[in-house]
Amino acid sequence: MKKRRFAQPIVLNSDTIAGMEEPEIKNRLENLNAELTEIGDSERGKPWEVELCYLERELQMRKLRSQLHTQYLKKIQEEEPEEDWA
């Protein structure tokens, strides 16, 4: 069975990726993974692997920032004295 030929993926810079919505990043990841699976050849698949790494790293950073922000808010809330509004 002959494998389809794919144009190499456009490698986005980190600023572009940072401006993307999370569903858009996940969709791009799915598409690139599907193409890479079909390509199969590790040497030809390097551009896809590079782009996948950038996208996965962005998702990891967002998840970490979210976790740290939640921890920060929890800490601030614990440190604030209760205000009596009555």
User: What angle, 0 to 180 degrees and rounded to 10, lies between the N-to-C axes of helices 22-39 and 46-79?
Assistant: 150
- Residue-level pLDDT at 86: 54
pTM of the model: 0.77
Tell me the pLDDT tens digit for each residue of 45-70: 889 999 999 999 999 999 999 999 99
Q: Decide if 29 contacts 52 (C-beta within 8 A).
A: yes
CB hemisphere CA count around 58 (13 angstroms): 23
Q: Decide if 59 contacts 23 (C-beta within 8 A).
A: no
